[in-house]
Structure 1
Amino acid sequence: MQSRPFGRTGRNVGEIGFGAWAIGAAWGKVDDAESIAALHAALDAGLDFIDTADVYGDGHSERLIARVLKERGGERPFVATKAGRRLPAQAVEGYSAENLESWIDRSLRNLEVETLDLVQLHCPPTDAYYRPEIFERMDRLVERGKIARYGVSVERVEEALKAIEYPDVASVQIIYNMFRLRPAQLFFREAQRRGVAVIVRVPLASGLLSGKFRADTRFGADDHRQFNRRGEAFDVGETFSGVPYEVGLAAVEKLRPLVPEGATLAQLALRWILMDEAVSVVIPGARNPQQALANLAAADLPALPVATMDEVARIYDQDIRPHVHQRW
C-alpha cells in the first residue's frame, strides 16, 4: 500500500486506514473478538492509521484499540480520536477549556498514552468555526503536550473551508464518496494549497456502496442505518450519506458494470476516492479480518480509467445530486 503525506505534519500514512466506529457501537451487534482480530489483521498487513472517537461505544472503541496495541508492542500506528459529542446537546458554549481538557484526559486514559496523536473536534455546531477562542484552547493543549496536533471533523463543506483558515488546524475529516462529490471541488483544492490533511470518512455510504444491500435488507434497532434514517439521532448525512435508501440502491445497480474484474464494488468505491491526490487517507470500517483485508486490497487496484470516472459523475448528477449536493 502506498503512503501519502499527512498534510504539513511531516508524517506519512498509508492511504487506507481503519475506521473504528463500527467496533464501538451503532452498527448492530459488536463482537469484540472479531473486532480485535480485524485490527490485528489490518496492522499485520501494514495498516498504520486508525480513526476513532470518545463516543464510539462510550469509549469502547478507544479501549479496544489500546488493548490491541498493547498486545502487539513495537511501533505504534497513528491513532486519531475525536472530542465534542459527549455534550448532552450541541452548543458552542460546551466547547469550554474545561470540557475540552476533560474529554481529552478521558481519551488519554482510554488509549493509554501520554500524548494523543490527533484530536478532532467532532462535528461541532457551525457557529463554533467562527469562535477563534475554541481553536486557541486547542493550541494550549498542544503546548501542554496533551495532544500532538488537532483537526476537525465536519458535516459541511462550508465548515471545512472556515476551519482551514485557522493556521494550526492540521486535518479535516469529511464525507466523500461516489454519492458525495462536492468536497472535491473548492475544498480539496484549498486543503492542498494550505497543506491540510484530508481524512475521508463514510467512503461506502454506510455500506450502500458495498453492493450487498437490497430493498428487503433489515438492520437492527441498535444500527444507525435503522434509527437515524431521517436524522433522528444525529446528522442524516452520516447515514447512507443522506441519500434516500431506495435511491441509493437504484444508483448502485448502475455502478455495478464499472467494477473491474476480480474486484468488488466496495473496492471500486475506495479506489475511486484515492484517485484524488488531495485525499490523505480514507477510513472504511471493518468488523472482521476479511473486511479489513478486503479494504486494504483496494489500494492495489490500478488507476481507474477516465471513462469510469466520467460515468460515476454522470450517475451522481442524474440520480444523487438533487438529494445531497447543496445540503452538505
Structure 2
Amino acid sequence: MQINTLGPFGPVSRLTLGGGGIGQLWGEASDKDSVDTLRRAVDTGIDLIDTAPGYRNCEKMVAKAFGGKLPDGVRITTKYSLGTPPLAEVYDRLRVSLDASLAAMLLPRVDLMILHSEIRPDDFEYPAGQPPKDIRSTSLSLYRQAVVPAFERLVSEGLIGAWGITGINHAAATIDAMSSGPRPAVVQTIANLMDSPGEMNGTGLAPRPRDVITAAKTYGVGVMGVRAVQAGALTSGIDRPEHSPTSADFDRAASYRALCKQWGEDPAIVAYRYAIGMDGVETLVLGVKNVAELEQALDAERRGPLDAEQVAAIDALGLRL
C-alpha cells in the first residue's frame, strides 16, 4: 500500500478504514463482518482507522477486533459532534465524549480527534426543515474561542495526539478556520467525482470540496477524503432508501455507469481510483461494511489513479455539483 504524508499528522496509508460501515450504520452487516473487515484492513497495510461514537457499533467493534491493543503502527481517530454549546462547556463536552470513546475501544488515548460538526459562519441560517443550527454545526467564533483551545489542552494532557475538523458544506467557513493558527492537523472533506456530499448537505450551498482541498494544501493541513463512492451512488447498485439525495445522485450518475460499462470496468473501482488520484487528497476514508467491499477498494488502490484521459472523460459528463 502506498504511504502518503497527511500534513503534520505524518505518514499514513493511502486508504483509511472508516467507521460507518464497520459500525453497521448502513446496509446489512454482522459483528463478524465488522471484525473481519478491521483485521483484513490492517493485514493489507491500512494503518489508520477512523471511528466516531456516532457510527453506532464502530468503537465497540474496534475493541472486539483488537482487545485494547492496536497492531503495531496502526493509529486511530475519534470524533465528536459538538454543535454550538455555551463556551464554558466546550472542553467538558469534548472530554466526556473522548472518555466514552476510549472506554469503548479499551484504549488510553487516540491519535487524532476530529470536530464532527461542520463549522459555519456565525450568522448563517439553515433552510427550513433542517436541524437547529446550534445542534448540527459549530459557529466559527466558538471554534476559534473555545474548540481550538480545548483540543490543544487535550493534546497537552496526552489524551489525543492531534486534532482536526470536518470540512463539508460550508467551504468558506472551513477555509477561514484553516487560515490562521493554531491550525488543525487534518480536514475531512468530500472526495468524489461528483463533488457531492449527498444527504450530508442541506445547507442550500454548493459544497465546493475542491476549494477546501486547495486551501488545505496552501495552509499545510492534511486532507482525508470521504465519500469516494458517494454512499453507493457511484457503484453498480445502491442500498440506501429511495427518494434520498444519494438515490438522486445514483440516478444522475447513469451516464457514468454507462461509461464504465463501455470501459469494461466496475463503477466502484473507477470511483475509488478517481478519488485516489485527486490532487491534495492524502488518504481516502472507506465506508465499507464487509471484506468484499474492502477488497474492491484495495484492488483500486493497487491499480492506482486513473490516467488523464479517463479523468477527462468522466469530468466531461458534467456530473460535478
TM-score (structure 1 length as normaliser): 0.80
Task: Provide the C-alpha distance between the structure 1 equivalents of 2:6 and 2:262, rounded to a whole number of angstroms.
Answer: 30
C-alpha displacement of 1:198: 0.6
Check 1:124–1:187 CA distance in 2 against 1; reply closer, same or farther (3 A cut).
Answer: closer
Match of 2:46 in 1: 47
1:263-300 superposed Cα distances (whole Å, 9 cap, x missing partner): 52211111111212411110122222122122112112
C-alpha displacement of 1:28: 3.0
C-alpha displacement of 1:19: 1.3
Match of 1:159 in 2: 173
Task: Provide the C-alpha distance between the structure 2 equivalents of 1:120 and 1:71, rounded to a whole number of angstroms.
Answer: 21
Which residue of the other structure, out of 313, 316, 319, is the alignment partner of 1:314? 316
Which residue of the other structure, out of 114, 118, 130, is the alignment partner of 2:141? 130
Task: Provide the C-alpha distance between the structure 1 equivalents of 2:282 and 2:2, rounded to a whole number of angstroms.
Answer: 11
Check 1:202–1:93 CA distance in 2 against 1; reply closer, same or farther (3 A cut).
Answer: farther
C-alpha displacement of 1:253: 2.9
Task: Provide the C-alpha distance between the structure 2 equivalents of 1:101 and 1:63, rounded to a whole number of angstroms.
Answer: 19
Task: Provide the C-alpha distance between the structure 2 equivalents of 1:66 and 1:186, rounded to a whole number of angstroms.
Answer: 37
Task: Provide the C-alpha distance between the structure 1 equivalents of 2:305 and 2:249, rounded to a whole number of angstroms.
Answer: 29
Identical-pair percentage? 23
Match of 1:233 in 2: none
Contact 2:52 2:79 in 1 (8 A): yes
Match of 2:153 in 1: 140
Q: 3-state SS of the aligned residue for 2:188?
A: strand
Task: Provide the C-alpha distance between the structure 1 equivalents of 2:86 and 2:256, rounded to a whole number of angstroms.
Answer: 42
Task: Provide the C-alpha distance between the structure 2 equivalents of 1:164 and 1:99, rounded to a whole number of angstroms.
Answer: 23
C-alpha displacement of 1:175: 1.4
- Of stretches 161-170 and 34-43 in structure 1, the one that deviates more from structure 2 is 161-170
Q: CA RMSD in A?
A: 2.5
What code does the residue aligned with 1:311 have?
A
Contact 2:191 2:278 in 1 (8 A): no
Task: Provide the C-alpha distance between the structure 2 equivalents of 1:151 and 1:124, rounded to a whole number of angstroms.
Answer: 11
- Of stretches 200-209 and 188-197 in structure 1, the one that deviates more from structure 2 is 188-197
Match of 2:114 in 1: 120
Task: Provide the C-alpha distance between the structure 1 equivalents of 2:153 and 2:243, rounded to a whole number of angstroms.
Answer: 36
Contact 2:184 2:221 in 1 (8 A): yes
Q: 3-state SS of the aligned residue for 1:17?
A: strand
Check 1:20–1:247 CA distance in 2 against 1; reply closer, same or farther (3 A cut).
Answer: same
Check 1:72–1:82 CA distance in 2 against 1; reply closer, same or farther (3 A cut).
Answer: closer
> How many residues matched?
289
C-alpha displacement of 1:227: 8.5
Which residue of the other structure, out of 265, 268, 282, is the alignment partner of 1:280? 282
Alignment of 1:77-96 (within 5 A): 77-84=74-81, 90-93=83-86, 96=90
- Of stretches 183-192 and 13-22 in structure 1, the one that deviates more from structure 2 is 183-192
C-alpha displacement of 1:76: 4.4
Check 1:120–1:302 CA distance in 2 against 1; reply closer, same or farther (3 A cut).
Answer: closer
Check 1:194–1:154 CA distance in 2 against 1; reply closer, same or farther (3 A cut).
Answer: closer
Match of 2:202 in 1: none
What code does the residue aligned with 2:172 have?
E
Q: 3-state SS of the aligned residue for 1:286?
A: coil
Which residue of the other structure, out of 228, 235, 238, is the alignment partner of 1:210? 235
Q: Does 2:194 align with 1:179? A: yes
1:210-265 superposed Cα distances (whole Å, 9 cap, x missing partner): 1224xxxxx5xxxxx32892xxxxxxxxx52xx72463342333442464x5x522
Match of 2:200 in 1: none
Contact 1:177 1:205 in 2 (8 A): yes
Q: 3-state SS of the aligned residue for 2:65?
A: helix
1:25-73 superposed Cα distances (whole Å, 9 cap, x missing partner): 430333111111111112111111111111111xx20111122123876
Q: Which runs of 5+ in 2 are unaligned?
A: 123-138, 197-206
Q: Does 2:63 align with 1:66? A: yes
Task: Provide the C-alpha distance between the structure 2 equivalents of 1:35 and 1:284, rounded to a whole number of angstroms.
Answer: 13
C-alpha displacement of 1:118: 0.5
Q: Does 2:2 align with 1:2? A: yes
Q: Which runs of 5+ in 1 are unaligned?
A: 214-218, 220-224, 230-238
Q: 3-state SS of the aligned residue for 1:256?
A: helix
TM-score (structure 2 length as normaliser): 0.81
Higher relative contact order (CA 8 A, sep 6+): 1
Match of 2:103 in 1: 109
Check 1:39–1:228 CA distance in 2 against 1; reply closer, same or farther (3 A cut).
Answer: farther
What code does the residue aligned with 1:151 have?
G
Contact 1:211 1:252 in 2 (8 A): no
What code does the residue aligned with 2:160 have?
I
Match of 2:126 in 1: none
Contact 1:91 1:125 in 2 (8 A): no
